[in-house]
A and B are shown apart, each in its own frame.
Chain A
Amino acid sequence: MLKLDEILRLVQKPARYTGGEVNAVVKSKDDVQIRYAFCFPDLYEIGMSHLGMKILYHLANSREDTWCERVFAPAKDMEELMRQNGIKLFGLESGDPISDFDLIGFTLQYELCYTNVLNMLDLAGLPVYSKDREELLPVVVAGGPCVCNPEPLADFIDIFLPGEGEEVTHELIDLLKECKKEGVSKREFLRRAAKIEGMYVPSLYKVEYNENGTIASVTPTETAPEKVKKRIISDLDSVYYPDKFVVPYVDTVHDRAVAEIFRGCIRGCRFCQAGYIYRPIREKSAEKVYEQSRKLCDSTGYDEVSLCSLSTSDYTQIQKLLDEMLDWASSNMINVSLPSLRADNFPKELMEKLNEVRRSGLTFAPEAGTQRLRDVINKNITEEEILSTSRKAFQGGWTAVKLYFMLGLPEETDEDIVGIANLAQKVVNEFYNNPDKPKGKSVTVSVGVSNFVPKPFTPFQWEPFCSLDEIERKQKLLKESVRTKKASLSFHNPKMSMLEAVFARGDRRLCSVLYTAWKSGCAFDAWDDSFDFDKWTSAFGECNIDPDFYILRKRDFDEVLPWDHLDYGISKKFLIRENELAHKGSTSPHCREKCSACGANALNGGKCDALNKA
């Protein structure tokens, strides 16, 4: 049997497992009452890039009574050696097994990490089923965007935490502390948890099904409410935000300071779940963003700060913020990056200013190949906007542009797919039409094509997912339509998308499929080198569940959806209206132009910052 230190000599990237990074929080276990394992069900490099985890890690550690540690899914080589040598999943800060902790929290960022959740519980030496963990401790909770339909994980997780975690984390820790002290049973703890707003205890709900397989009813029992309302933070200026981040040694996906500028999105793109589940719009003040950026750069040594939101140029104070920030940034050799910029409303002067320190790439997400289909999905960006911004970028010396599209959208025809190729061609042409184009340089237009997956709480939540055959045909058609060598196509794996589609809108019956697939060896399903579709197919077969039921069916508006008992503030009437407009090819104005009455402002006492004007 080898010890952890011996194993580290044998694995790839051992720094993933050592902890000890700058700003990692080390406490003495005797000084705290609650030990919390914050688990990200993917590799270190992915999890360490996630802003939510950074916030909640430092927030929990700001309490004297709590020690929160980070846990990531070990890569396969590490997992194998851990299992062979009886090493249980441990917290990076202490190296102690998380089975000894009081609280285990997962963040669910995408559906294809679900098998990793099971695998991590198992690696910790814990039973994966909630009902088999009979003791109070450790309690297993989960938050994150996928919790808006957590039903496929309902049998494994004790409590789901829909919405934003800053307040509810404190309430959860307080409750757990109290219950631990009183020595109450797990059942009693869960009964008390269900009474707190934003705590969804799945075991307290009874689900019944119709003969046709759809849900007949979801009935709360004991202390559980009819509907569980997601939590939101009302004021982003006063809510906790860390002044330091753990600085990783290994290169992570997003290795930089991040300042959050607003939550929610005014755009209402009909396919985009994030555009709905984070409503209502709440902005942080420019002063606060600037202050937080400076503090983070000082404490981490990062030379890049990213202004984070779903659509950065929609921040009403962007001009003011950049005016203040860019002088500080350039005199300190700090790069300010603005992801998620829209092509239509970003002033050219600002673009130039941003490039003073370092130059980043240019990316557009038209999502659909024709204006007609962009109207269907309410992606209000025009071809002329894409071309004129590309033109400006090429004049400014850029030689690479990325374009993102989706296949399989509602109302899509072959014309729309050919339209993707045409748009890419037009961007290439813009480069060659530029009289001042750099000599001897060529242009690269990278076209990334993913598959549309209908998601809960969007106007497309009733829509079918495109069949695998149809996606393959569409991909082939697109390949044949692209004639220029300057445009390179890359596709998302349709089978992965299909699985994502099943689980995104799945119900509790999928728990058995998930368990069976995991037992047969599925893990890291979002990674090409470990995704094994055949195993999934047999898991569905073994459990007698037809995946097509979840994906190929167009649902009726009056069908009971598996997530109907969760309240994300978005009214169903609004989603139905938007769905009908989509099928008519009519757009909706963005929230700042005209309120479409989605209902989310009720979560924030009727306030919505979408009504602020720049």
Chain B
Amino acid sequence: MRLIRLKFNKVGKAKYISHLDLYRTFSRAFRRAGIPLWYTEGFNPRPYINFALPLPLGAESVNDCMDIKMEGDFPLEEIVKRLNEVLPEDLKTVSCAEAVMSVRDISFAEYSIVFDGEKVSLDDLKEKLSGDLRANKKVKSGRKKVEKEVDISEYVKDYSLTQQDGDIILGITLPAGSSFNISPLLLIDALFGDENEGLSNMLYVKNIRRERLLTKSLEEFK
């Protein structure tokens, strides 16, 4: 049994494919491509496809990671080629190789967030980023999920702000992974709070893109 890690880009219209829907989308693509995946055992056998780290709906990602399991010696170089022939335009695979690390090694993720220059200024963003950053995060309390206010200021250290075509791009690395994760949406909530009278904070944001998944020592996840 081989554990194979595929890198893929999910951009444009494909950013609206939710995490759950992405599983179906890929499992069908593998079938169309004639790539035989290993099926789980049990009552409802299904192909083994595992995404390294869920992405919020509406965010793009490049070099995103997904694991598949295969038996036999299906040639790796065929996988990317065949999949890209059957995948929709905005969802394409980039590379594939045997997995080196464990998904538990993911500790950080790098994002670029494009803010609408007409709705927010560079100075304003700078000030907000260096100030007090608090937002409500859904956390588990026993069996229930509850909202809890968290202070994320200490995680917002490593960032850059650049201007491009009138918009402002925030490049930032945030803690990520199964044990502790700061979603870019949480950061956006912390930046804008609920001061815009019920309208979604997403109105300030033109795009969110996850650029890379990183390990504890900020190495690229492989």
Contacts and interface: CB of A to CB of B under 8 A. Distances in A.
Nearest to A359: B43
Contact of A9 (B25, B39, B58): B58
A247 B28 contact: yes
Contact of A358 (B12, B29, B44, B87): B44
Interface in B1-54: 12-14, 16-18, 20-21, 24-25, 27-32, 39, 43-45
B98 interface: no
Contact of B203 (A10, A18, A357): A10
**Which of A8, A247, A249, A359 has the most CB atoms of chain B within a 10 A radius of its CB?**
A249
A15 interface: yes
A301 B16 contact: no
Interface string A482-518: 0000000000000000000000000000000000000
Interface string A16-34: 0011111000000000000
B39 to A, nearest CB: 6
A472 to B, nearest CB: 37
B152 interface: no
A9 B13 contact: no
Given A301-B28, A301-B30, A359-B43, A22 B88 contact: yes
A300 B32 contact: yes
Given A9-B202, A10-B202, A333-B45, A15 B27 contact: no
Contacts of A255: 24
Contacts of B44: 358
Contacts of B14: 20
B32 A301 contact: yes
A14 B90 contact: no
B186 interface: no
Contacts of B90: 20
Nearest to B32: A301
A396 to B, nearest CB: 14
A381 B198 CA distance: 56
Nearest to B44: A358
A291 interface: no
A531 interface: no
A255 B23 CA distance: 14
A19 B13 contact: yes
A571 B101 CA distance: 72
A301 B203 CA distance: 36
Interface string B79-114: 000000011111000000000000000000000000
A10 B200 contact: yes
A6 B90 CA distance: 18
Contact of B17 (A8, A15, A333, A359): A15
A189 B88 CA distance: 40
A376 B36 CA distance: 53
B57 interface: yes
B202 A249 contact: no
Contacts of A300: 28, 32
Contact of B21 (A2, A251, A358): A251
Given A9-B200, A10-B202, A301-B86, A249 B31 contact: no
A255 B27 CA distance: 13
Contacts of A298: 32
Nearest to A255: B24
Nearest to A9: B202
Interface residues of A, number: 29
Interface string A429-443: 000000000000000
Nearest to A297: B31
A161 B222 CA distance: 58
A334 to B, nearest CB: 9
A2 B119 CA distance: 13
Interface residues of B, number: 31
Contact of A302 (B16, B28, B39, B57): B28
Contacts of B21: 15, 249-251
A446 interface: no
Contacts of A197: none
B222 to A, nearest CB: 28
B147 to A, nearest CB: 20
B16 A303 contact: no
A19 B14 CA distance: 10
A395 interface: no
Contacts of B28: 22, 247, 300-303
A371 interface: no
Contacts of B203: 2, 6, 9-10
Nearest to A303: B31
Given A8-B58, A249-B21, A297-B31, 18 more contacts: A9-B202, A9-B203, A10-B200, A10-B202, A10-B203, A14-B57, A15-B18, A18-B16, A20-B13, A21-B88, A22-B29, A249-B17, A251-B24, A301-B28, A301-B86, A302-B28, A302-B31, A333-B39
B54 to A, nearest CB: 16
Most chain B beta carbons < 10 A, residue from A22, A250, A298, A302: A22
A423 to B, nearest CB: 29
A20 B57 contact: no
A300 B44 CA distance: 20
Contacts of B39: 333
Contacts of A467: none
21 contacts: A2-B203, A6-B203, A9-B202, A9-B205, A10-B200, A10-B202, A13-B18, A14-B57, A18-B16, A20-B13, A20-B89, A20-B90, A22-B29, A22-B32, A249-B16, A251-B21, A299-B32, A301-B27, A301-B29, A301-B32, A302-B31
Contacts of B89: 20
A151 B27 CA distance: 46
Nearest to A302: B28
A70 to B, nearest CB: 15
A251 B20 contact: yes
Interface string A445-480: 000000000000000000000000000000000000
Contacts of A22: 28-29, 32, 86-88
A299 B16 CA distance: 23
Interface in A243-294: 247, 249-251, 255
Nearest to A10: B200
A2 B199 CA distance: 12
A19 B43 CA distance: 34
A297 B30 CA distance: 12
Nearest to B205: A9
B103 to A, nearest CB: 24
Interface in A90-121: none
